[in-house]
Amino acid sequence: MGAASGAYPPRSGAHRVRVLPGCHGASGQCRERGATRKGASVGYVDTQAAKTVFVVAKREPGVLRGGVCGKPPRRVSGHARSCRRWVSVGSFSHADKKGANTFHLTGRVDGHRLAPGSYRLDATPAFGGFTGKTVWTSFAVRNS
């Protein structure tokens, strides 16, 4: 009984995740560029039909504590070393097909509008109780 017996389903793997620029910002900006739809297109390739969970994280300031970047204290006491950390702002899932997949990212996650800033989109595929490798890409939301 080896891998050829089919005892375990093959791991799903998303790769080449990309956020293709769309129209971010004020509607006037969109009209100038000739865009009819706000947001961006997200494209990725999955090795098999699976469910991929996407987590949107925002870049925030932090302080180093024990070698780990954590939330900064309310009151500064001393000279803590600063760092940058990724804080989750929401998540959603997408049912994939084998091969190329795309969907439209509107700039809203969990019912909230994404504020201007730098973000990271983490993609983690799952199939049959197995979780694939998490891949990510970064994108930015501009002022509206």
The whole-number pLDDT of residue 140 equals: 87
Taking only the tens place, the pLDDT of each residue in 2-14 is: 444 444 445 556 6
Task: Tell me the pTM.
Answer: 0.76
pLDDT (tens digit per residue) in 36-86:
567 888 999 888 888 999 999 999 999 998 889 999 888 877 777 889 999
Domain range summary for the chain, segments of one domain joined by +: 11-141
Q: Does domain 11-141 have CATH number 2.60.40.2550?
A: yes
Task: Using the structure block, give the residue that is written with the tokens 């983490």.
Answer: 122
Within the chain, strands assigned E span 14-23, 39-46, 51-65, 68-70, 82-95, 99-105, 108-109, 112-113, 117-127, 130-131, 135-141
Judged against a pLDDT cut of 50, whether residue 27 lies above it is answered with no
What's the CA angle centered on 80, arms 77 and 86, to 5 degrees?
120
pLDDT of residue 1: 38
